[in-house]
Amino acid sequence: MEHGSKLHSEARAGWLSPRVLRHLRTAAALAAAVQALIDASPPRAASQTLHAQLLTSGLIGTPDLSVKLLVLHLRCGSLHNARALFDGMPSPTRAAHNYLVAGYFRRGHPEEALGVVRRLAASTGRVDVFALSMALKLSAALALPDAAAREVHARVLRSVAEPDEILFAALVDAYVKCGRLGYARRVHGAMPLPRSVVCSTALLVGCMSEGLYGDAEAIFEGMEGKDAVAYNAMVEGYSKTEETAERSLEAFTAMRRAGLRPTASTFLGVLGACSLLSSSPELGEQVHCQGIKTGLVSDIKVGSALVDTYAKCGRVEDGRKAFDQMPERSVVTWTSMIDGYGKNGLSDEALALFGEMRRRRRDDVRPNHATFLSVLSACAHAGLLAQGQEAFRSMEADYSLRPRMEHYACMVDLLGRFGSVRQAYDFVRGIPARPNSDVWAALLGAATLHGDVDMADVAAREVFELSRAGRSGAYMAFSNTLAAAGKWDGVHDVREMMRRRGVLKDAAYSI
């Protein structure tokens, strides 16, 4: 016992002799020392020198010792050493494969991890449940879920004798993510009763994403032992459309009645539903109270969603209170508050908050593309031309952010409405990439506003070319511009074009 205590205390202290210690001159003793180092928290990079001692000692490492050294390298963050050890193993065990796969995956190297899984399959002809489940996750990370799901499914049928809940859930999830809902149903149907809650939840999410609410409800009702994740899937699924938003709140109420504790995901879904039900702002306030009671309102994602919900409901002051009370704020939080100010006609407040954000000079609150779009929109709503131009210039100059088409469209709208249509047109001609229909539609809107028939003609032709059957508002705007100028032949031509292309006349459509 005293000898073992000495070994473990030396291992934990990270003290290692340049030569192999007398009591570490057996593979079993080395294995125990390595395990002690693995269990140490935090692991010490210097402990990897134990591997070097083994290599210079002449001892023959057992498979168990090799796996432990592999895990030690991974714990210390050395993928290079772990892979070198793995490649040097005469016959790597399944455990060695699985540890290396997990190590690659956790450190953001899905391609290498998938390569190890395929190597295991090639060497043994079969892989275990962990490796198959991991292969599905890896393929999703590599945007290859369709092919991978079918490949893994085939291996499951060949190699896995008994259905495994984790593997089948991963397979259902993979089919759902690649849009193969029919295959996901087959896998789910092959599960023995009672089916896994995890597996059923994965299929439920797929049905919700396809708008198959009745199917999702049937799956949910048939589940035994529903957990918070299953309820969250219902809450979030319903929260995507205005038509089903109230059912999201009903699912949240049912979750509480079932005695399950809401999570951050629950509140994100409910707040999303409240944003759609902006005519009932008191709902967001009730959810806010629930978030305070559970302590989840301090979660940065929940807090950001709360700010966004209040802003969309027109309660900007409440949103600002929630913003100020947050212990931490992300770029999403700042952007939500800036956007809320702008959309509620408080452009000066939006720009003031943007200025404060810029003065922070912190990477976690560095303005991004969404932030600048909110700022430009706020300037466009208030006609703040100079401020909008300065913000647009600073995107690349100060933050190395290349403007996207939505930023260009916003600037065209701002220049055209509050500068001149010619200035807006010159700006469009200076865009480095080909402008999309949003950009030309913005120019058409400005030309319509100012009654500039020639410029409206140029912009309208581009919009019609890029969006032949859509944007009925663009056709109507151009037609109205021609009518205001007394060009009735042109009006007739536009209406005839709409008829040929099957464009519906709808004055409610935006340009």
Residues 22, 44 contacting (CB under 8 angstroms): no
H-only helix segments in 453-511: 453-466, 472-484, 488-501
Pair of tokens at residue 249: 């709140």
Distance CA 177, CA 148 (A): 12
H-only helix segments in 40-144: 49-57, 63-75, 79-88, 94-106, 110-124, 129-141
Residues 387, 371 contacting (CB under 8 angstroms): no
18 DSSP assignment? S
Helix (H, G, I), strand (E, B) or coil at 487: coil
Which residue, among 469, 407, 415, 481, has the nearest Cα to 438 in the 3D structure?
A: 407
- Side chain identity, residue 69: L
What end-to-end distance do the CA atoms of the chain give, in Å?
A: 82
Q: Which pLDDT score is estimated for 385? A: 94
Distance CA 15, CA 46 (A): 9
Before 367, cis peptide (omega within 30)? Answer: no
DSSP assignments along 357-380, one per residue: HHHH--GGG---HHHHHHHHHHHH
Residue 127: CB atoms within 10 Å:
26
Distance CA 260, CA 231 (A): 9
194: left (phi over 0), alpha (psi -120 to 50) or beta: beta
The vertex-307 CA angle with 305 and 308, nearest 5°, equals: 65
Helix (H, G, I), strand (E, B) or coil at 325: helix
Average pLDDT of adjacent 10-residue blocks, the chain of 511 residues: 38 40 57 73 61 57 78 83 84 83 81 78 64 68 62 65 71 81 85 83 92 94 91 94 92 92 91 81 76 82 90 90 91 95 94 94 86 96 94 95 96 91 93 90 86 83 70 62 60 61 52 55
- Side chain identity, residue 311: A
Which residue, among 261, 305, 300, has the nearest Cα to 284 in the 3D structure?
A: 305
CA 1 to chain centre: 52
Residues 415, 449 contacting (CB under 8 angstroms): no
Residues 97, 116 contacting (CB under 8 angstroms): yes
Distance CA 336, CA 319 (A): 9
Pair of tokens at residue 246: 């109230």
- Burial of 37 by CB count in 10 Å (0-12 exposed, 13-18 middle, 19+ buried)? buried
Q: Which pLDDT score is estimated for 501? A: 59
Which residue, among 458, 369, 451, has the nearest Cα to 410 in the 3D structure?
A: 369
Which residue, among 93, 89, 96, 20, has the nearest Cα to 51 in the 3D structure?
A: 20
Residues 152, 132 contacting (CB under 8 angstroms): yes
402 DSSP assignment? P
Q: Which pLDDT score is estimated for 161? A: 53
- Give residue-wise pLDDT tens across range 458-474: 888 887 777 655 555 66
Structure-token match 């092959």, residue found: 190
Pair of tokens at residue 210: 């396809």
Largest CA distance in the chain: 104
Helix (H, G, I), strand (E, B) or coil at 84: helix
Residues 484, 451 contacting (CB under 8 angstroms): yes
Q: Which pLDDT score is estimated for 191? A: 79
Which residue, among 382, 436, 383, 381, has the nearest Cα to 408 in the 3D structure?
A: 436
